[in-house]
Structure 1
Amino acid sequence: MKTKLNAGLFACTALLAACAPAATQSATIGRTDAAPGRLSVAQPASTVGAGTLTLSSPQFANGGTLPLEQVGSGSGCTGMNVSPELDWSGVPAGTVSFVLTTYDPDAPTGSGFWHWVNYNIPAGASSLAKGAGSTGGGLPAGAASGNNDGGMTGYTGACPPVGDAPHRYVFTLYALNKTLALPAGASPAFVGFNLNGATLAKTSIIATYGR
């Protein structure tokens, strides 16, 4: 009787041990204690470095405040909704096209907010003029814009909720080894998906704005 009882206990212990990894794994899925209050959103091509690629703007210093000219003009915001000038250098060999995006990771959406998405900027370009993404502006020949998270093509300025801590506006330039075959009005997520495996280098600058 004792032998059968010991065998039964051994079997139960073995069964619990086999289940333990699955139980531990399921307990950690969906935890938010590492970054409470916001969903962490992975950026495309996260393992690719900048190399010699640099990005700058005469409208703001990296880490500085976004000027009112680049702020939105709706939803209570009183900016001019003009996209900034962006200049770059240090382009890696083999670059065929560029993608340039503007993203607010602090927007209270659970997944941030994409303000501007441009792709197939020609390899010979070294800048986007101020207002290129705004009404009446223009991108270099061959370049295209996807839809921003407001559902429109082109640039939509910063307009964070009143009382929020200043939001970060991340301008990122990607140097690609190809052009992207995308439908008109492609979503930011679809553009980002197509960057993976095609990005030679990427670099970012950040401006902040609050109201």
Structure 2
Amino acid sequence: MSLDRPVSPDPYELLPKVPSFTVTSDDVTQGAPLKDDQVASAGDSSPHLSWEQGPEGTKSYTITCFDPDAPTPSGFWHWVLVDLPADCTELPAGIGREGAELPGSAFMCRNDAGTKAFTGAAPPQGDQVHRYYFVVHAVTEESLGVDSDASATVVSFNLAFKTAGRAIVQGTYQH
């Protein structure tokens, strides 16, 4: 089964430009297929992420995972982690599980699966290759100003006004 539709644009190319910095991962390789650990039916585990310090003025970080290729008008948000302290520059694999102990006052917001956790890749069988954007947003405030019931869209709206920089690593998956 293939859902006949065009490939969605890179969503971060559509946002105002901000400085970039580097994020690396032991689990996600730029442009390459995700490991089974990051797939919902296999491991459903958030990947390891490590990043260099954000640009001057960074007071916290928000981590997101977004699939713009989901067969919806708004894509699919797999992970939303907000209010990581500014001195945090690495997350171990699996920290996105529900109930995980997070650094500082960080917390997870609802993803599009309705959980406050990481949800692994799960595109429809036979659909086009999906891209998963793991993004570290350097934030100009210690708190983004949302609570854990905020949707990913509300988090993204707040990020539009409070982002000092952005680091992206993008993996793929096709079922």
What amino acid is the match of 1:196?
Answer: A
- Counterpart position of 2:83: 120
What amino acid is the match of 1:84?
Answer: P
How many Å apart are 1:39 and its aligned residue?
A: 6.8
Equivalences for residues 94-173 of structure 1 within 5 A: 94-135=57-98, 137-173=100-136
Secondary structure of residue in 2 paired with 1:196:
helix
Distance verdict in 2 for CA 1:39–1:165, change over 3 Å: closer
> Comparing both chains, which one has the higher relative contact order based on Cα–Cα distances under 8 Å and sequence gaps of 6 or more?
2
Greater Rg by CA: 1
The answer as to 2:54 corresponding to 1:91 is: yes
Counterpart among 9, 19, 24 of residue 50 in structure 1: 19
Secondary structure of residue in 2 paired with 1:194:
helix
- Counterpart position of 1:199: 163
- Counterpart position of 1:64: 32
TM-score (norm 2): 0.89
Q: Tell me if structure 1 keeps the 8 A contact 2:53–2:89.
A: no
Identity %: 36
In structure 2, C-alpha distance between the alignment counterparts of 1:140 and 1:195, rounded to whole Å: 20
How many Å apart are 1:45 and its aligned residue?
A: 8.4
Report Cα offsets for 1:79-123 as digits up to 9, x if no partner: 111110110004211110001100000000121100000110100
Secondary structure of residue in 1 paired with 2:65:
strand
Aligned Cα root-mean-square deviation (Å) = 2.0
Secondary structure of residue in 1 paired with 2:105:
coil
Secondary structure of residue in 1 paired with 2:157:
helix
TM-score (norm 1): 0.74
Q: Which has the higher helix share?
A: 1
Of 175-184 and 148-157, the range deviating more from structure 2: 175-184
Distance verdict in 2 for CA 1:208–1:114, change over 3 Å: same
Secondary structure of residue in 1 paired with 2:161:
coil
Between the two proteins, the alignment pairs up a number of residues equal to 170
In structure 2, C-alpha distance between the alignment counterparts of 1:38 and 1:152, rounded to whole Å: 27
**Structure 1: unaligned runs, 5 residues or longer:** 1-35, 73-77
Secondary structure of residue in 1 paired with 2:44:
coil
What amino acid is the match of 1:48?
Answer: K
In structure 2, C-alpha distance between the alignment counterparts of 1:182 and 1:60, rounded to whole Å: 28
Secondary structure of residue in 2 paired with 1:173:
strand
Q: Tell me if structure 2 keeps the 8 A contact 1:48–1:199.
A: no
In structure 2, C-alpha distance between the alignment counterparts of 1:135 and 1:101, rounded to whole Å: 15
Q: Tell me if structure 2 keeps the 8 A contact 1:48–1:202.
A: no
